[in-house]
Every structure is written in structure tokens, then in C-alpha cells.
Amino acid sequence: MNRTEKNKQINKTIILSGGGTGGSITPLLALAEELWRENKNLNLIFVGNYSGPEKEMVAAFNNQTGPMKFIPLISGKWRRYFSWQNFWDIFKIITAYFQSFILLRRERPDLILSAGGFVSVPLVLAAAFLKIPILIHQQDIRPGLANKLMAPFARVVTVTFAKSLLDYGSKAVWIGNPVKQLSKDHQETSIEMIKNKYNLDTKKPLVLITGGGTGSHKINDLIFRGIPELIKFCQIIHLTGSGKLLIEKIYSSDYHPLEIVSYQDSLELIRAADLVVSRCGLGTLAELSSLNKAAILIPLPNSHQEDNAAIFSEAQAAVVLNQNELTPEKLAEEIKRLLNNEPLKNELKNNIAKVIKRGAVQGLVGIIGEVLSSQKS
């Protein structure tokens, strides 16, 4: 019996959990779509924050794929440095644990899968108490505190990079990072459709700027101040992040600022772009790798993003720039240099395609199917 036949026999409830940033949400949405493709009878629930981008992203997903129920939890964060907020967040975490306990008793899930984020920790602890199977996905090369806390309760910890196998021991499985698969059929038609949708010039180079699901004030500022120079040689789709659009309207047919777009559209825009300028969240990096896209990466200083960026830099798979040394002029100059250097762009495309292991969605679906099939009915 193959995996698809096995999964068609299963009619169960799965909770997907993550949030705070778009990076821990998009892999779960890619997974949800694949799970439903194999078994329409699965009941999928997304548990996230009250205030993160996940509610809006799940709503956009539901418009195209759903319905997937969204349930918010109170989220507290434990900081590994002194902060008065830790004292208040202790009460948030305790409240979230009891909130999770009630949620799990009501929804009776057969499996919990978290892609990280502190909203998942109380949920996983409550699930462990109730003996509900738990899977954890580690995206970044540097394990976060939330995943370190949850991993001991997980049956399996899937990882994006082979190096992460050492962090989680025998329960770790190297799969890559789940990314929604765009059909290669009619690719040119798809690119033309997304350009028409956003009123783009089909003859002018397209640069996609993104600071991740929540946006980046620093990258936004660099782009806002660099627009007069940038629109001389390219057109821009600028995903600013929710609530981060520039108040003063910038009038140019070659500059298109948007707070947020659907997951499907974000992938189509990456595919249509001649160049992408991005932060280094693993969700976006996996999408760039999957779509073989030339990119300029600007990691958030003093964060796990610098570790992620180092892997791409060492593989000569992207141009990595230091945020602290950037000016609008320097960034515009680097964008122009890459757009005009076709051999370098092709080299980056070829190399970035090799950085992250392919087939993560199918691999994770297979692991989920094995766990569900092993449970007593």
C-alpha cells in the first residue's frame, strides 16, 4: 500500500502551530495544501498568536485553498536576558497553557506539528501531558529557544539543514524546508498573469523587495529613500509588512508598495522577479532556493539570520550585504550591478537551487502519515 492510499484511509484532526513571523507560517501552509491534496477529509486547525501575521495569512490561504480553522492563543516570550517583560510574560505563558489544555480537550487532535514560535510552547506542553503525538520542524541553522524547549516532547524533529541533525540526536530527520510547489506548466503564462494583476511593465526589470511577513523598518527606509534612483532602471514590488506602508504617497508607475499579499501571489512574484532583495528568514530563503532566484540578502544584525545568510554566502548562492554598512545609494548600486550582470545572476540561480534539500513537503507528509497510521483507532 503506497503513502497516498494509506493517508486516504485516515480521517483525523491535525493542529499546525507557529507564528510571530511569516517564516514559521508559510511552511505550514505549504504542508496544509499538500495534506489536503492527499486527503480531503483531514480536519486542519492553525493555532497562532492574536497579534501576529498568521491570522491574515491563514485567511488569505483559506480564500484560495481552505477552509482551515484559525484559533489564537495568548503568547508570552521568555527572553534570555533581563527584562521586566519576562515577569509579565510568565503569567501569559501559564494562561496560555490552560488555554491550550481547553483547546485540546475540545478539538481532540490526533497530532500537533509546530514550526517554532513561542505561541507553540504552551500548546506542545499541554499536548505532551495529554499524550498527543508531537512533531517539530526546525527551520534555521541555529536552534531557537522555543524549539529547544519543545524538542524533548517530540516524536520526530525534522530539520532544514544536515548540520542540524547534531542538535536533536536520533529523533532528527533531514528533509529540507516545506515550500509550496508552483506548477512548471504554463510558467510564462503564470508570470504574465501576475504582472497583469499588479499592473507591471513586462519589458522593464522587476525587483521584489521583502522584509519577511512582518516587514523590516530598515529595509523599508533604504528603499523609500532610494526610490528616485531605483526607478531609473527597474520597477519595484515592495512588500513593506503589515502597518508599514509609507504615510506619504510616492507617485510612480514603477513603484508598487504593498503591505502584504497572499502566499500564492508572493511565490508568483518571486518567480516573476528578475531579482529579489530580502531578509534571511528561512521561509523566504527556501522559496528563493526552490524557485532558483538571484537574490540580495540583508540579514537582521546579531540574529539567527546571520547564520542562515552565511550558508548562502559560502555556497556563492546569493549576495549578502551588511545592514550596518548600507545606504540607499549603495543598495541601489548593488541592485543595478546585479541586474546588468547576467553571468553572475545565472551563477547565483544555479547555486541557490542546491542549498536546500528538495522534497520537504512530501517528506513531512510521509512522516505524518506514518505517525497517524501507527495510532490506535
Cell of 146: 522555543
Q: State the distance between the two ends of the chain, measured CA to CA, in whole angstroms.
A: 18
78 pLDDT band, cuts 50/70/90, is low
- Does residue 6 or residue 345 have the better pLDDT? 345
Same fold, 3-177+357-374 and 187-352: yes
pLDDT in tens, 111-143: 999 998 888 999 999 999 999 999 999 998 888
CATH number 3.40.50.2000 given to 187-352: yes
Asked if the peptide bond before residue 301 counts as cis, ω within 30 degrees of 0, the response is no
Distance CA 96, CA 93 (A): 5
pLDDT score of 19: 77
**Could you tell me which residues come within 8 angstroms of residue 203 by beta carbon, excluding any fewer than 6 positions away?**
none
- Does residue 120 or residue 77 have the better pLDDT? 120
Strand-pairing partners, residue 238, are 209, 257
pLDDT in tens, 147-175: 999 999 999 999 999 999 999 999 999 99
**What is the mean predicted confidence (pLDDT) over 50-79?**
81
What φ, ψ does residue 235 adopt, rounded to 5°? Answer: -110, 155
Mean pLDDT score across all residues of the chain: 88
Distance CA 297, CA 343 (A): 19
Distance CA 251, CA 373 (A): 57
pLDDT score of 118: 85
324 pLDDT band, cuts 50/70/90, is very high
The fourth-level CATH superfamily of domain 3-177+357-374 is Glycogen Phosphorylase B; (3.40.50.2000)
Q: Is the pLDDT of residue 2 over 60?
A: no
Percent of the chain at pLDDT > 70 equals: 89
Question: What ranges do the domains of the chain cover?
Answer: 3-177+357-374, 187-352
Out of 33-37, 130-134, 247-251, 337-341, pick the least confident: 247-251
**What is the mean predicted confidence (pLDDT) over 349-373?**
94
Distance CA 311, CA 227 (A): 30
pLDDT score of 291: 94
Q: With contact defined as beta carbons under 8 Å apart, do 210 and 236 qualify?
A: no
186 pLDDT band, cuts 50/70/90, is low
**What is the mean predicted confidence (pLDDT) over 340-368?**
96
Q: Is the pLDDT of residue 315 over 50?
A: yes
Percent of the chain at pLDDT > 90 equals: 64
pLDDT score of 9: 45
Distance CA 305, CA 212 (A): 12
pLDDT score of 168: 93
Q: Is the pLDDT of residue 108 over 70?
A: yes
What φ, ψ does residue 247 adopt, rounded to 5°? Answer: -65, -45
**Could you tell me which residues come within 8 angstroms of residue 174 by beta carbon, excluding any fewer than 6 positions away?**
158, 159, 161, 162, 164, 165, 357
pLDDT in tens, 225-264: 999 999 999 999 999 987 777 655 566 789 999 988 888 8
Q: Is the pLDDT of residue 8 over 50?
A: no
Query: In terms of C-beta density within 10 A (0-12 exposed, 13-18 middle, 19 or more buried), how is residue 235 classed?
Result: buried
What strands lie across the sheet with 206-210, from one edge to the other? 255-258, 235-239, 206-210, 275-278, 295-297, 319-320
Q: Is the pLDDT of residue 287 over 60?
A: yes
Q: Is the pLDDT of residue 145 over 90?
A: no
pLDDT score of 64: 81
pLDDT score of 206: 97
